[in-house]
Chains A and B, each alone.
Chain A
Amino acid sequence: MKVSQTQFRTALLDPDHPIPDGLSDGAEGDARFNVYRNNVTVSLTEAMHSAFPVITKLLGTQNMDGLAGIFLRQHPPSSPLMMHYGGAFPEFLAGMEQLAHLGYLPDIARLELAIRRSYHASDSEPINPEDLAGLAPEALMASVIGLAPSVEVLRSDWPIYDIWRFNSIADAPKPQPIAQDVVITRAEFDPEPMLLPPGGAVWIRALLDGHTIAQSYEAALGHYAEFDLGATLAILLQGGAVISLTEKDIA
């Protein structure tokens, strides 16, 4: 009796599915086949734990195990790069009715995915902040800033920065019910989420789209009239996130 890999996989992911005929294990019962079932479930569940430590902490290990068990069957990895597993988890969480009262979970999952992307992003060399200081204000405003591949920006209606810190860092303050935007920078090897002032995420996204500092500033002001460009730029410079500065001709 031939056992196809389709049959094997179906029984592997569904514990209620009968084990395919044609396998011998020197014993009756499911114990031998269950080793493979268990290996798949446990290894993918562990991958979810390490990808989403804050979600795991918020939900508790047991609840996370249960969710991961459902998730890994609906969304098995699409590549052997486990460093990217879980991309569909935010949407999955958003679709879980029983978690609707924890509306911030999907954005926290997005933050954890972004931290991991930043960790594995290409290396880059930051510019010397003095290069900016040497430019005349008009020339600076007309310049385009290149950002490191490790930079990630997230906008949220929830206090994602506070929730992330409260569950990652000892003695961090309790989250307050406010909307928070976050930028992740990676000065060397460790991604660091930083809270952005209002309008900061709009400004950085405009920069990422290739707009000049001035054009991006206009966009940020449109979002928040008192946008603090200096404070936002300082966050990027401190995080080693600015890797190029190109002056555009002032027409």
Chain B
Amino acid sequence: MLDATHHFDHLPAAPGVGYKPQHFSDITSDSGSVEWLEIHAENYMGDGGRPLAQLRHLAERFAISVHGVGLSIGGEGQLDPDHLARLKHLVDWLNPASFSEHLAWSTHDSAFLNDLLPLPYTDETLTRVADHVDQLQNAIGRTMLLENPSSYLSFDESTLSEPEFLDEVARRTGCGLLLDVNNVFVSATNLGFSPQEYIDAYPIDRVGEIHLGGHDEDHDDHGAPLLIDSHGREIVDPVWALLDYTLAKSGPKPALIEWDNDVPEWSVLETEAARAELALSRVLA
């Protein structure tokens, strides 16, 4: 385990960013508004080398959120025991301030598809997801945050809304929720619902972290707007507005800027974090 002297036991209600190795020296010299960092768990599952050395260094100064992108919690099959063991190993070593994963599936019949795929919201999938969340929480010995997905389509068989589904998983397992307001905005546009009504219905008291990110704008075959959760550009104004709407209900929360593709210079990312800090300060006031 790492030196516990600088241990952070929770994420601050302040801006964080998704950590990219190219920003290492910027972050360690002047992190600006950024108070905490999120890493993708799967990128830190090697045996050694630069990724783990950088993470060890960063963990002394920043609260770290470990964000899994590969467990396939919504998968029809069993959770991969090897991957559960890898997650436990990482969490035991790093003792991060937070651990989160997605309401999605990515592995089926042992093929990992490297995308967060959607699942129907039914009693059957609810039982399965709650079992998997229980299994994960038992494996890593702590509660997790479960994140809402970006959706491009819905399932006819669904009987529950997404906020109802997440609320029930959280109630059954004791897990917290990671509310991605960009995902809400993307899904709302694509599936034709009101993002504000989604937030109104969402179990806001269970939110432990908020995600913000940029999306691409496209159109479907009929010219209807189709938003794609690309994490490759600035956050758009309507998503900032939805953050304000959410924070007014939730109070200040740890708020993360996600920028995973076409990663910009540190100053661009820091500017986004500063804007999140401003939004957080308005709720504090």
Which B residues from 71 to 87 make CB contacts under 8 A with A?
71-72, 75-76, 80, 82-83, 86
User: In the complex, what distance in Å separates the CA atom of A23 from the CA atom of B111?
Assistant: 22
A-chain residues with CB within 8 Å of residue B226 when the two chains form the complex: 31-32, 35
Which A residues from 38 to 58 make CB contacts under 8 A with B?
39-40, 43-44, 47
Quick one: closest A residue to B45, CB to CB? A81
Tell me which of A4, A78, A122 contacts B110 (CB under 8 A): A78
Q: Is B246 an interface residue (CB 8 A)?
A: no
Chain A contact patch, size range = 35 or more
Query: How many residues of chain B get a CB closer than 8 Å to chain A's CBs?
Result: 51
Decide if A119 touches B49 in the complex (CB within 8 Å). yes
User: In the complex, what distance in Å separates the CA atom of A24 from the CA atom of B76?
Assistant: 20
User: In the complex, what distance in Å separates the CA atom of A60 from the CA atom of B103?
Assistant: 37
Decide if A150 touches B49 in the complex (CB within 8 Å). yes
Which of A6-14, A154-162, A175-183 contacts its partner? A6-14
Decide if B45 touches A83 in the complex (CB within 8 Å). yes
Q: Is A26 an interface residue (CB 8 A)?
A: yes
Interface centre among B80, B111, B219 (most CB of A within 10 A): B111
B-chain residues with CB within 8 Å of residue A44 when the two chains form the complex: 114
User: In the complex, what distance in Å separates the CA atom of A220 from the CA atom of B257?
Assistant: 55
Decide if A9 touches B113 in the complex (CB within 8 Å). yes
Decide if A32 touches B49 in the complex (CB within 8 Å). no
Which B residues from 214 to 259 make CB contacts under 8 A with A?
219-222, 224, 226, 228
User: In the complex, what distance in Å separates the CA atom of A122 from the CA atom of B157?
Assistant: 48
User: Contacts A22-B156, A80-B42, A189-B49 given: A36-B117 contact, CB under 8 Å?
Assistant: yes
Decide if B154 touches A43 in the complex (CB within 8 Å). no
User: In the complex, what distance in Å separates the CA atom of A189 from the CA atom of B113?
Assistant: 29
User: Contacts A3-B120, A47-B114, A82-B42 given: A24-B49 contact, CB under 8 Å?
Assistant: no
